[in-house]
């Protein structure tokens, strides 16, 4: 069975490092993009099981990134999980996010988000 692929959209190297580690631990492959343009280009070549979008310190820009990803035909049907320290889960869901991860991200929460979006069909160890 092939490993699920995740696409993380962030410009934060510490978060990228953490999500890569969590991805490896859970049997996933993690791709990354710093911009929506990079993400869309990757989506033209890869079909990840889930998108993880880091809500930047500038929320208005982040909501626009979420809207652009949701509107992109190459992202159609791919669940998007928001990662953020900002308490705006209701807005994230209203804007079309499938799940929310609080920052700092704990491994158990990461697994729960992947399971909730069906990006991780089996618990780690059953892959």
Contact 7, 42 (CB under 8 A): yes
Overall domain count for the chain:
1
Length of the chain measured in residues: 127
**Cβ within 8 Å of residue 14, ≥6 positions away:** none
In-domain check, residue 37: yes
In-domain check, residue 48: yes
In-domain check, residue 12: yes
In-domain check, residue 124: no
Please give the residue that has the higher pLDDT: either 54 or 57: 54
pLDDT for 8 beyond 90? yes
pLDDT at residue 51 in the model: 96
Helices 107-116 and 13-25: angle between axes, nearest 10 degrees? 70
Residue 13 token pair: 């190297």
* Site of tokens 């069909």: 121
Contact 41, 67 (CB under 8 A): no
Contact 17, 87 (CB under 8 A): no
In-domain check, residue 19: yes
pLDDT for 22 beyond 80? yes
Provide the mean pLDDT of the chain.
Answer: 88
In-domain check, residue 125: no
Instruction: State the CATH number of the domain containing residue 34.
Output: 3.40.50.2300
Partners of 7 in beta bridges: 31, 51
Could you report the per-residue pLDDT of 85-123, keeping only the tens digit for each?
Answer: 887 888 888 989 999 999 999 999 999 999 988 787 665
pLDDT for 71 beyond 80? yes
- At residue 58 the predicted structure's pLDDT band, cuts being 50, 70 and 90, is low
In-domain check, residue 122: no
Contact 81, 52 (CB under 8 A): yes
Residue span of the structural domain in which 109 resides: 5-116
pLDDT for 75 beyond 90? yes
In-domain check, residue 102: yes
pLDDT for 53 beyond 60? yes
Question: Once rounded to an integer, what is the mean pLDDT over residues 18-37?
Answer: 94
């Amino acid at each position: 069975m092939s490993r699920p692929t995740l696409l993380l959209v962030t410009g934060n190297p510490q978060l990228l490092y953490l999500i890569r580690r969590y991805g490896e631990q859970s049997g996933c492959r993690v791709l990354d993009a710093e911009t929506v343009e990079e993400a869309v280009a990757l989506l033209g070549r890869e079909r990840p099981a889930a998108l993880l979008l880091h809500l930047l310190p500038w929320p208005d820009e982040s909501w626009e990134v979420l809207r652009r990803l949701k509107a992109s035909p190459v992202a159609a049907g791919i669940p998007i999980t928001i990662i953020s320290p900002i308490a705006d889960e209701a807005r994230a869901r209203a804007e079309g996010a499938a799940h929310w991860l609080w920052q700092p991200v704990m491994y158990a929460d990461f697994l729960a988000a992947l399971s909730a979006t069906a990006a991780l069909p089996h618990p780690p160890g059953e892959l």
